[in-house]
Amino acid sequence: MINLFLNSFFITFVVVRVIAHTFHDRKNYGTNAENSKTITGWLRNKTGFDWHHIHLGFILLIISLSLIFYKITSFSIMLLAISLSLITDQILPLLNFGNYFSKKMIIGAIILHLVVSFLAIMIS
């Protein structure tokens, strides 16, 4: 199960970063002209709420923990890994340590992913 967790965790990180850097409209973010081609951009447009993938991560975390308390399955472990990756990737910018797209925040997210991976390995 730890291999499934780690693979899901790091694949999510890479996919989310590539999508965010490719499809996010940084120039018009926060304006009516924003044209991000991401899930969170679509949610911001439809709801008027400033959605970020950390919000989706917390929603998935609640769902995954509910499933895990019922029964540990491959699906619940994958969902846990995905949710923790979404949260870990965006926690530093949320705490105002820098711009999500900066090199500093990418390095910070990598370090946090390595810390969570180490903890997961120690727990397993």
- Average pLDDT taken over every residue of the chain: 95
Task: Provide the token pair at 64.
Answer: 């995954």
| Short-list 95, 66, 61, 98, CA closest to 81 | 61
Under the phi-then-psi rule, with left for phi > 0, alpha for psi from -120 to 50, and beta for the rest, what region is 25? beta
3-class SS at 99?
coil
pLDDT value at 103 more than 90: yes
pLDDT in tens, 4-50: 999 999 999 999 999 999 999 888 887 888 889 999 999 988 999 99
Which pLDDT band, with edges at 50, 70 and 90, does 120 fall under? Answer: very high
φ, ψ dihedrals at 33, nearest 5°: -90, 0
